[in-house]
Amino acid sequence: MTRNNDSYPLQPPRERGTGRALALAVVMHVLLGLFLYHGIHWQNSTPAGEEAELWTEVPDLSTPRPLPPPAPVTPAPPPPQTQEADIALQQLKRKQQQEAAREAQLAEQQRLRAQQEAEAKRQQQLAAQQAAQLALQQKQAKLKQQQQEQQQAAAEKLKQQQQQQEAQRKLAQQEAQKEAQKQAKLDAQKKADAEKAAKAKAQAEAQAKKLDAERRARIAQMQGSMGGGAGTSGNGLAKSGTGSGSGGNAASPGYADKVRRRVRPNIIWAGETAGLETEISVHCSASGTLLSATISRSSGNSQWDDAALRAVQRSDPMPLDTDGKTPSNFKITLRPAS
C-alpha cells in the first residue's frame, strides 16, 4: 500500500553496515538457539545401557563358530521439549519478527527517501527548465528592445537626413534667390549703364556735331577773312584739324595713371582675374566730357570686357592733363584687381 510522504517525516541516512550487523545478530541468535536445544537434549537423554555375556565354559576357539546376528539398534526417542526451549524459540521468533519489521521499516524509509530524492530531482529539473525558459524570454525581450532601439535610431537618422536635405534645399533656394537678385541687379545695372552709355553717346554725338559746327564756322570765318586763299586753305584745315582746338594734343607721361586711378574704383568684377587684360579707346572733349569709349583689344572674356567698358563710362568726366585740358583721344589698359 502506498503511503503519503507527509505521514513519514524525514529520517537521517542509515549508517553503513547496519544490514550486516543485523544479519550477524540473526546468525548468532540461531546459533544460540541451537546450542540451547542441544544442551537441553544432552542433559535429558537417557544413557545407553551396557550388555554383558556370561559363559559357563570356555569356548573352543580352534573351530570358529558363526557369530549371531547383531541386535537391531532402536533409535533413541526424541527428547521432550521443555518450557525453556519454547521460551527461547519464541524469543528468537519475536526477535526475528522485530528484525523483519525493522528491515521492512528501513526499506520503506529508503523507498520514501528515494521518492523524495526523485521528487527533489524532478523539482530541480523543473526549476532549471523554468530558469532556462525565463533566460530565453529575457534574451528575446532584450533582442526585441535592441531591434526597437535600432529602428528608432534609424528613424531618427532618417529624420535628421531629411531635415538636413530640407535645410540644404532652403539654402539652395536662398542662394538661387540671391543669385537671381544679383543677376537682376547686374542686368538692371547693365541696362542702366547701357542707357547711360547711349545717353552719353547721344550727348557726345551732339557735342561732336556742335564742335564740328563750330569748327566749320571758324573755318568759314577764316576762309572769309583770308579772302579766297583756296590754294593754301587745304593745308591750313589739316593743321587746324590736328591742333589743340580739336582735342588732338598728346597726353603727358603721367596722364594714364590719372585715368586708371579714376576708373579703377568703378570696376565691379567678381569673376576670374588671371590673364584678363582689356584695352579701351577713349574719345573726350577738352573739358573731360566722355564722347565715346570702345574696346580696341578684347581680353577674350566678354563679361570682363563689358565690366571694364562700364567702369570707363562711369568715370565721366575724365581728369584734366597738366595743360588743363583732356586729351581728345587716348587708350587705357585695364586689368581686374587680384
CATH number at residue 285: 3.30.1150.10
Residues linked to residue 75 through DSSP beta bridges, in sequence order: none
Cell reading at 25? 545478530
Q: Please check whether residue 151 lies inside any domain of the structure.
A: no
Q: Please check whether residue 293 lies inside any domain of the structure.
A: yes
The pLDDT tens digits along the chain (338 residues) read: 455 555 555 666 666 767 788 888 888 889 988 888 777 765 555 555 566 665 555 555 555 556 566 656 565 555 555 677 778 888 888 888 898 898 999 999 999 999 999 999 999 999 999 999 999 999 999 999 999 999 999 999 999 999 989 998 898 888 888 888 888 887 887 777 777 767 766 766 676 567 656 656 655 555 554 443 333 333 322 222 222 233 345 678 888 888 888 888 888 888 887 888 889 998 988 888 888 899 999 888 888 889 889 889 888 888 888 888 888 888 888 888 76
Q: Please check whether residue 333 lies inside any domain of the structure.
A: yes
C-alpha angle 214/217/223, rounded to 5°? 140
Helix (H, G, I), strand (E, B) or coil at 295: strand
Q: What are phi and psi of 11, to 5 degrees?
A: -110, 150
Q: What are phi and psi of 295, to 5 degrees?
A: -85, 115
Chain Cα centroid distance, residue 325: 78
Q: What is the number of structural domains in the chain? A: 1
Contact by Cβ (8 Å): 258, 268: no
Pairing label, strands 329-334, 290-297: unpaired
Q: Please check whether residue 289 lies inside any domain of the structure.
A: yes
Q: Please check whether residue 129 lies inside any domain of the structure.
A: no
**Which of 89, 14, 4, 92 is CA-nearest to residue 100?**
92
Residues in the chain: 338
Whole-number Å distance between alpha carbons of 190 and 185: 8
Cell reading at 51? 550388555
Q: Please check whether residue 197 lies inside any domain of the structure.
A: no
pLDDT of residue 36: 83
Whole-number Å distance between alpha carbons of 197 and 289: 12
Q: Please check whether residue 291 lies inside any domain of the structure.
A: yes
Residues sharing a CB contact under 8 Å with residue 150, sequence separation 6 or more, in sequence order: none
DSSP assigned state of 324:
S
Cell reading at 195? 542707357
Percent helix, percent strand, percent coil in the chain, to nearest 5: 65, 5, 30
pLDDT of residue 84: 78
Q: What are phi and psi of 51, to 5 degrees?
A: -110, 145
pLDDT of residue 179: 82
CB atoms within 10 A of CB 99: 15
Q: Please check whether residue 285 lies inside any domain of the structure.
A: yes
Domain encompassing residue 324: 256-338
